[in-house]
């Protein structure tokens, strides 16, 4: 999760695993944009530290407790992005607009500000034609289309229509083996995951049946490699408490994977780092 150590402050972002909110990785510039996890586990994000937006590889900075007499405070690092290597996007002369990552190689797909279409290390991805890129897969395969009408576009440009899917709007995608997962979900937590095979056939592989009492979904779906679906949510009993709900890979009712309830953003406690809050930030995953 890309969250914050100080709610409402853009200059105190942190990166955590959902189960370890008290172990934040920092730091980020105020204008950085949330990103994605590459296949080697590195976090890739869009940096706005220069006049032209660039892709960077996040490297954690020191987060230390500085004492002043009998008191002290955790000190968020300065110049946070100077140690974050730039990921080349040679076709972008006005900065990067968006990016994705091939799940098996970690290679970058990117769009440039002021430009149209997607690019990768070979240049403009011409095999997409006028199709909209939805998600990158293994072996150079791309999931393309819009709404419920999806197609597989192979590395050689061969197009295979996806068949067997319901007429739904998809909220999350994930590459698996030689195909893809796609997921649908309604506001009550009723949804399903479908698997698309290499030949374009699709079948339902999980059914989700609601959220725990006292919770509701808000926005921001991502899917884990195993097929679990995660979404930001709210605690409806404790006002102002953000949560993350996990819909299990095997189907069924969601569980709470993260909650702000009981967390503290206390900067003067030298024995414990401030906890990371969600606060309208973003869940991140791989592809």
Banded model confidence at residue 150, pLDDT cuts 50, 70, 90: very high
What is the rounded average pLDDT of the residues 245-264? Answer: 97
pLDDT at 169: 87
pLDDT at 253: 98
pLDDT at 3 over 90: yes
What is the rounded average pLDDT of the residues 183-208? Answer: 97
Say if CB 26 and CB 63 are below 8 A apart: yes
What is the rounded average pLDDT of the residues 56-75? Answer: 92
Cα-based distances in Å from 287 to 11, 39, 64, 236: 27, 8, 33, 31
How does pLDDT run across 211-221, given as a tens digit for each residue? Answer: 999 999 999 99
Cα–Cα dist 272/236, whole Å = 28
How does pLDDT run across 22-55, given as a tens digit for each residue? Answer: 999 999 988 888 899 999 999 999 998 777 899 9
Task: Supply the DSSP symbol for 128.
Answer: G
Give me the chain's average pLDDT, please: 93
How does pLDDT run across 156-166, given as a tens digit for each residue? Answer: 999 999 999 99
pLDDT at 32: 86
pLDDT at 49: 77
62-66, 112-116, 182-186, 281-285: the lowest-pLDDT one:
112-116
Cα–Cα dist 246/223, whole Å = 9
Banded model confidence at residue 147, pLDDT cuts 50, 70, 90: low
pLDDT at 142 over 90: yes
Q: SS3 of 139, please? A: helix
- Separation of CA 245 from chain center: 15
pLDDT at 281: 82
pLDDT at 271: 87
| Portion of the chain with pLDDT greater than 90, in percent | 79
Banded model confidence at residue 207, pLDDT cuts 50, 70, 90: very high
Task: Supply the DSSP symbol for 85.
Answer: P
Domains by residue range for the chain, with CATH:
2-282 (2.120.10)
pLDDT at 173 over 90: yes
Q: SS3 of 140, please? A: helix
pLDDT at 270 over 90: no
């Amino acid at each position: 999760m890309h969250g914050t150590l100080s709610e409402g402050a853009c200059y105190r972002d942190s990166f955590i695993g959902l189960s370890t909110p008290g172990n934040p990785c920092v730091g980020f510039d105020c204008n950085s944009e949330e990103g994605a996890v590459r296949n080697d586990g590195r976090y890739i994000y869009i940096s706005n530290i220069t006049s032209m937006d660039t892709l960077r590889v996040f490297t954690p900075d020191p987060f230390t407790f500085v004492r002043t007499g009998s008191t002290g405070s955790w000190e968020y690092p300065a110049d946070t992005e100077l140690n974050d290597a730039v990921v080349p996007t040679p076709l972008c002369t006005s900065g990067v607009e968006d990016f994705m990552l091939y799940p098996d190689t970690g290679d970058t797909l990117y769009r440039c500000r002021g430009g149209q279409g997607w690019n990768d290390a070979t240049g403009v991805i011409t095999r997409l034609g006028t199709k909209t890129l939805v998600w990158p897969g293994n072996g150079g395969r791309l999931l393309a289309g819009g709404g419920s009408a999806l197609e597989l576009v192979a590395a050689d440009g061969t197009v295979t229509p996806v068949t067997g899917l319901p007429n739904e709007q998809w909220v999350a995608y994930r590459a698996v083996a030689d195909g893809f997962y796609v997921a649908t979900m309604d506001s009550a937590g009723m949804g399903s995951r479908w698997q698309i095979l290499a030949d374009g056939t699709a079948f339902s592989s999980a059914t989700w049946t609601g959220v725990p009492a006292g919770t509701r979904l808000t926005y921001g779906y991502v899917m884990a490699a195993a097929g679990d679906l995660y979404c930001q949510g709210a605690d409806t009993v404790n006002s102002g408490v953000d949560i993350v709900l996990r819909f299990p890979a095997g189907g069924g009712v969601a569980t709470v994977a993260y909650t702000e309830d009981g967390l503290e953003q206390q900067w003067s406690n030298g024995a414990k780092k401030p906890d990371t809050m969600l606060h309208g930030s973003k869940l991140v995953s791989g592809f």
